[in-house]
Amino acid sequence: MKESFTLDQIRRFSLAIVTVGLIVAISGSVRTGSVIISLATATFSLARYSQLKVKRNIELILPIMICIMLFGLALSLPNAR
């Protein structure tokens, strides 16, 4: 059976998804692009935090809160297409 993904693979995949989200947002679908970016950034932050040797809560809470605020802002955009 195949082993699970490594944290480096998850980080690279998250960065690729952020790039896709940027392209989607630039092409005109701002809400969808913002949602994609916020989810991929949260995944990247979690993978990065789990690799740290000295774990401080602020290094996890602050990026996750920014991702949650971006997600909420994307959902509340009035005329995003």
In sequence order, which residues have a C-beta less than 8 Å from that of residue 77 and are 6 or more positions away? 30, 31, 34
pLDDT at residue 55 tops 80:
yes
Percent of the chain with pLDDT over 70: 94
Locate the DSSP E strands across 5-77.
Answer: none
Cβ density class 36-57: b for 16+ within 10 Å, e for less: bbbbbbbbbbbbbbeeeeeeee
Which of 23, 5, 17, 24 has its CA nearest to residue 42? 17
What pLDDT is attached to residue 41? 93
Q: Where does the pLDDT of residue 43 fall: very low under 50, low under 70, confident under 90, or very high at 90 and above?
A: very high
pLDDT, mean of residues 73-80: 78
What pLDDT is attached to residue 80? 55
Q: Quick: pLDDT tens for 60-76.
A: 899 999 999 999 988 88
